[in-house]
Amino acid sequence: MANYPIVQNKEKARGNVFSAGGFYGRKTPVRGKELWVEKVLMLSASLFILAILLITLFIFAKGIPLIAKTGLTDFIFNTEWNPTKNKFGIGTMLVGSLAVTLGALLWAVPLGLITAIFMAEIAPVKVRDVLGSFIELLAGIPSVVYGFFGLIVVVPFIRDNLGGSGMSILAGAVILGIMILPTIINISRDAIRAVPEEYKINSLALGATHYQSIWRIIVPAARSGIITAVVLGMGRAIGETMAVVMVTGNATIIPDSILSPVRTMTSNIVLEMGYAAGDHQAALFATGTVLFVFIVLLNLIINISAKAGIKNAHR
Amino acid sequence: MPTANYGEKVMTLVFWLAAFLITAILAVIIGYIVVKGFSVLSLDFIFTPPSRAGKEGGISTTIVSTLYLVLGSLLIAVPVGVASAVYLEEYARKNSRFAYIVNLTAETLAGIPSIVFGLFGFVFFVIFLGWGWSILSGAMTMAIMILPTITRTSQEAILAVPREYRENSLALGASKWQTIRKIVLPSALPGIATGIILSIGRAVGETAALLLTAGSSLGMPMSITDPARTMAVHLYILAMEGISLERAFGTAFVIIVLILIINYAAHYGMRRLSALGR
Amino acid sequence: MNSIKIRSHNLNVFYGPFQALYDINMDIESNKVTALIGPSGCGKSTFLRSINRLNELIDGVRIEGQIYIDEKPIYARDVDVVALRKKVGMVFQKPSAFPMSIYENVAYGPRIHGIKDRRVLDEIVEKSLKAANLWNEVKDRLKAPATGLSGGQQQRLVIARVLAVNPEVILMDEPASALDPISTAKLEELIAELRCNYTIVIVTHNMQQAARVSDYTGFFLNGRLIEYNRTEELFVNPRDKRTEDYITGRFG
């Protein structure tokens, strides 16, 4: 899922919300046909709202009854997933999703942040541009290709060098980390670049070195953007499916080490959707409901707080 | 202060190492697939249909299916996406509540994982509307997924069109819609095209959502109500079920080459766009 | 007693093919306020930024000649730029408080120069804020974000931040141009007080301001130092026709 360009455009796009459309004013001639055009365009834009409403409605309609029947806490925290016995608890998958995501963040955040600082503050222009296009490419590689690479390279490597089957949290964390690097790098780089130049000049004029200015002034000033980057990276990691399903082994157990296989919530859906029916299918939708609510909330918080941030900055 | 100097040198080294590591990761992934996949590739591989569940034969039907799905989703998403962008940038009033909500919705849509889109497409298009596992269901689902990309890039492109263009057109007595159609949209075209190209990239690689909405039938799709298996889905099934690693490499190679081309084209488009902004 | 703090000797500065300063020779006295005036683009800010080597941040800049501070060349191979900038503080046009608390803003400089003891820091912060005439306004909210201060307060905070690293010279690049009249008056008052302990070089567009705050004034035009004299002399009896034209408002 190569959606980094959306992410990259976010900063600018957000600004639009508050500067939309005022150019033509009320005096611009509006003839009969023109009004009709405006209505059609507005209708198109309304489709976004319709889409999100339909998605919410249909997923909830399929998922919530089963959650209600099982009980929310039981559904989320029970570790027994046994469709043939009508036992639907996604506890192991919740742990699986969190473990793989945490593992990915653990290495991708530091590496991504350092790369972002490098690109915004240190790299010569040419190096920066080349690295930038590499990162675009990294964002463009489909998740199924990452999964395939993980399956034939990372999994055997772990099996041969660390033991176990290789299908593990570790393999998932390695592959997922690579996949969220572009998100983390691009958003934090933009945030670092957006820090006013004066901060740096003032800091240098006080006798600080370039690195002191970076660590003590520039990075802290870009903090909220960097947090956004990490949270969005986390959202991507939790929602990722194909890459994870191919490398983590998909066992519904509570892992006891990073070499244990795990099944994530997303994997659960894609693995069983093909043959599930009745309550079993509803349970997969319920898994999707949990995932959906979690990620939409995450995104809403980020988007609304970022927009509030812009408002404050303009005050 | 020699200690401070030493620390800074180490820091510089760490920065360059990070950049090198990123480059190495990319090189290893692409290099591995290109090297292993290239030996599988032949005209036969591209032009013959798969047989024995993909164990033998080529990938022609999956290429055709991918094409249909990409075209189908663009057919829906491009008009809607561009129209929405025009509305948001040229018509919606400053601080309009409606525009705010649409923008927020677009951001939210962009963040939803593809598996959730797959679930929705399955329950809505496949079951509720009764379209079954089909190109139609897959393309509709895909269209919703790429809509935010197309709208965002179009919005940016429209915003980059110099204000004077509009002023001059209006001063010549053109109406608002004439100005948009004849001046603004043509000027924004490189940016809009970039959005479309990026969406193609996403559609080519999409797997989870299509598996649930377009199915995984290997036959050659004859109509939009036929099920279809794209290259990405094919790669997943070949690798996951251990059908043929060799053919999986070949398929991954074709996907990677397509992505490289798409990426280059998008990069080129972006450059045109930023040249316009200047 | 006159002692020379800064001596500029045949200073030429180039930005790529463009020459921004021509053979500047200028002696700036210790514990005095020296104002640099002239129309936009005349090179006065370039000269100011040459004194703490901040010009070097610009790509393609080339500097010839020498500046001496306390008779030591600052454009020499073994000069520690960081130490130089510690000694030569600078206040910029746009008040730029760092996005942290008032206290942390002032403590930033001492911290990067290695002071960790909390009590010493407290002392420096208080002393600097007092010296910058800001203490009374902020002493009850040192932990509050500095970005909440008014423009004038922020500019005095920036000065306190500079004072906290204990400089000998303070460069000011149009420090009042973004401030309202009342804040400007407070700032000028502060400059008058600071003169006792620091050598101040101030670039200003505002000739009344130069006349009010400075002891010496240099007039720059097209990258050249046209006239340099005691402030009252320069304003009352300009020797050069171009200086006279400028201060009487006939151009620029």
What's the token pair of residue B259? 């992505």
The residue with greater pLDDT, C79 or A293, is: A293
pLDDT at A309 over 70: no
Neighbouring C-beta atoms of residue C118, cutoff 10 Å: 9
Which among A114, A274, A259, C158 has a CA at the least distance from the CA of B21?
A: A114
Supply the ipTM of this predicted assembly.
0.91
pLDDT at A16 over 70: no
| Number of neighbouring beta carbons within 10 Å of residue A85 | 8
Asked if C162 and A206 come within 8 Å (Cβ–Cβ), the reply is yes
Contact flag A208-C99 (C-beta cutoff 8 Å) = no
Provide the 3-class DSSP secondary structure of residue B209: helix
Do residues B30 and B92 both lie within one domain? Answer: no
- List of chain A residues whose C-beta atoms are within 8 Å of the C-beta of residue B16: 118
Range of the domain at C20: 4-247
Query: Scanning every residue of chain C, which has its alpha carbon at the shortest distance from the alpha carbon of A197?
Result: C96
Residue of A nearest to C52 (CA): A205
Give me Rg for the CA atoms of chain B.
Answer: 23
Residue type present at position A248: T
pLDDT exceeds 90 at position A32: no
Closest CA to A291 of A131, A140, A113, A93: A93
pLDDT, position C124: 94
Q: Other CB atoms closer than 10 Å to residue A43's CB: what's the count?
A: 14
CB C199 within 8 A of CB C170: yes
Interval C175-233: pLDDT, tens: 988 888 888 998 899 999 998 899 999 999 888 899 999 999 999 999 999 999 999 99
Decide if B93 and A22 are in contact by the 8 Å CB cutoff.
Answer: yes
Residue B25: closest CA among A229, A190, A182: A182
Q: Which residues of A touch C94 (CB under 8 A)?
A: 198
* Single-letter code of the amino acid located at B44: D
Indicate the pLDDT class of residue B145, thresholds 50, 70 and 90: very high
With H, G, I as helix, E, B as strand and everything else as coil, classify residue C13. strand
The maximal CA–CA distance of chain B, rounded, in angstroms, is: 75
Please name the amino acid found at residue A71.
G
Q: Tell whether C110 is covered by a domain.
A: yes
Six-digit token pair at B113? 């994982």
Specify burial of residue A14 (Cβ count, 10 A radius: 0-12, 13-18, 19+). Answer: middle
Nearest chain C residue to A211 by CA: give it. C112
- A34, A138, A284: residue with CB nearest B26: A138
CA distance readout (Å), A114 to A105, A186, A190, B28, B246: 14, 12, 13, 21, 38
Å between B59 CA and nearest CA of chain A: 16
HEC profile of A158-206:
HHHHHCCCCCCHHHHHHHHHHHHHHHHHHHHHHHHHCCCHHHHHHHHHC
Q: Which residues pair with C11 in a beta bridge?
A: C24
pLDDT in tens, B88-118: 999 988 788 999 999 999 989 999 999 999 9
pLDDT at A307 over 80: no
**The pLDDT of residue C70 is above 60:** yes
Looking at every residue in chain A, the average pLDDT score rounds to 86
Distance linking the first and last C-alpha atoms of chain B: 45
Q: What is the pLDDT of residue B60?
A: 85
Q: Does residue B11 sit in the same domain as residue B50?
A: no
Find the helix or strand (DSSP H, E) in which B257 lies. Answer: helix B245-277
Q: What are the tens digits of pLDDT across the range A247-265?
A: 999 988 899 999 999 999 9
Q: Quick check: helix, strand or coil at residue B133?
A: coil
Report chain A residues whose CB lies below 8 A from the CB of C161.
202, 206
Shared domain for B149 and B207, answered yes or no, is: yes
**pLDDT over 90 percentage in chain C:** 57
Query: Which residue on chain C is closest to A224 by alpha carbon?
Result: C99
For residue C251, pLDDT over 70 is answered with no
Determine the distance in angstroms separating the CA of A202 from the nearest CA of chain C, rounded to an integer: 8
Question: What is the C-alpha to C-alpha distance for residues C248 and C103, in angstroms, rounded to an integer?
Answer: 44
Q: What CA–CA distance (Å, rounded) separates B241 from A252?
A: 19
What pLDDT is attached to residue B278?
A: 40
Q: DSSP states of A27-69 as a string?
A: TS---HHHHHHHHHHHHHHHHHHHHHHHHHHHHHHHHHHHHHH
Position A29 pLDDT exceeds 60? no
How many structural domains are present in chain B? Answer: 2
User: Model confidence over C113-161: pLDDT tens digits?
Assistant: 888 899 999 999 999 999 999 999 999 999 999 989 998 899 999 999 9
Nearest Cα residue in chain B from A245: B240
As a whole number, mean pLDDT of residues C63-69 equals 93
Count other C-beta atoms under 10 Å from residue A123's C-beta: 19
pLDDT of residue C123: 94
**C112, C124, C147, C166, best to mutate vs chain A, most A CBs in 10 Å:** C112
Q: What is the DSSP string of A134-146?
A: HHHHHHHS-HHHH
What is the rounded distance in angstroms from the CA atom of residue A165 to the CA atom of residue A253?
15
Q: What is the phi/psi pair of residue C72, to 5°?
A: -105, 130
Task: Mark A207-223 as b/e (b = at least 16 C-beta within 10 Å).
Answer: bbbbbbbbebbbbbbbe
C195 falls within a domain: yes
* C214 within some domain: yes
- Structural domain that includes position B100: 43-277
Per-residue pLDDT band at B274 (split at 50, 70, 90): low
Length of chain B: 278
What is the pLDDT at residue B15?
95
CB of B241 within 8 Å of any CB in chain A? Answer: no
Query: For residues A2 and A139, is the Cβ–Cβ distance under 8 A?
Result: yes
B124 and B12 co-located in one domain: no
Alpha helices in C24-134 (DSSP H): 44-51, 81-87, 102-112, 118-131
Residue B159 near residue B228, CB atoms below 8 Å: no
Count of domains observed in chain C: 1
pLDDT at residue A7 greater than cutoff 50: no
In a shared domain, residues B7 and B52: no
**Identity of the residue in C98, C112, C162 whose CB atom sits nearest the CB atom of A212:** C112
Tokens of A213: 């200015």
Burial B238-255 (b: 16+ CB within 10 A, else e): bbbeebbeebbbbbbbbb
Distance from CA of B152 to the nearest CA of A (A): 7
Mean per-residue pLDDT over chain C, rounded = 90
pLDDT at B122 over 70: yes
Q: Phi and psi dihedrals of A88, rounded to 5?
A: -120, 95
Chains that touch C (3 or more CB pairs under 8 A): A
Most B CBs within 10 Å, among A30, A148, A215, A269, to test the B interface: A148
Chain B residues within an 8 Å CB radius of A40: 83
Residue C252 lies in a domain: no
Closest residue by Cα to residue A215 from A205, A228, A200: A200
Identify the CATH number of the domain in which residue C70 sits. 3.40.50.300
What is the pLDDT confidence band of residue B273, given thresholds at 50, 70 and 90?
A: low
pLDDT of A310 above 90: no
Chain B partners (3+ C-beta pairs within 8 A): A
Whole-angstrom distance, CA of residue B94 vs CA of residue C151: 29
pLDDT at site B44: 85
Beta strand C18-29 with B56-57: parallel, antiparallel or unpaired? unpaired
For the stretch C229-247, pLDDT in tens is: 999 999 998 999 899 888 8
* β-pairing verdict for A87-88 and C88-91: unpaired
Per the structure block, which two tokens stand in for C153? 């307060």
Tell whether the model's pLDDT for residue A13 goes beyond 50. no
Mutate to test the interface with B, among A17, A62, A154, A215 (most CBs of B within 10 A): A17
Instruction: From B90, B172, B161, B147, select the one nearest A34 (Cα to Cα).
Output: B90
B-chain residue closest to A265, CA distance: B115
- Check which CATH number belongs to the domain holding B62 and give it: 1.10.3720.10
Is the pLDDT assigned to residue A27 strictly greater than 80? no
> Half-sphere exposure of residue B122, counting CA atoms within 13 Å on the CB side?
26
Nearest in space to A66 (alpha carbons), one of A314, A279, A300: A279
Specify whether the CB–CB gap between C174 and C204 falls below 8 A. Answer: yes
Tokens of A126: 């040419």
For residues B21 and B100, state if they share a domain.
no
Both structure tokens of A32: 């009969």
Average pLDDT over chain B reads 89
**Tokens at C2, concatenated:** 């006159």
- Rg of chain A's alpha carbons, rounded to an integer? 23
Q: Read off the pLDDT of each residue in B179-185 and give the average, rounded to a whole number.
A: 89
Percentage of the residues of chain A whose pLDDT score is greater than 70: 87
Rounded to a whole number of angstroms, the distance from the CA of C116 to the nearest CA of chain A is 15
Amino acid at C194: L
Q: Which residue has the tokens 């139609």?
A: B136
**In whole angstroms, what separates CA B220 from the centre of its chain?**
23
The DSSP bridge partners found for residue C90 are C171
Nearest-Cα distance to chain C for A312, in Å, is: 12
Identify the H or E element spanning A300. helix A278-314
Same domain, yes or no: B163 and B254: yes
Higher pLDDT, A74 or B1: A74
What's the mean pLDDT in A123-143? 93
| Best residue of C79, C101, C104, C108 to probe chain A, by most A CBs closer than 10 Å | C108
Which chain A residue's Cα is nearest to B173?
Answer: A29
How confident is the model at residue A304, as a pLDDT?
80
B271 shares a domain with B163: yes
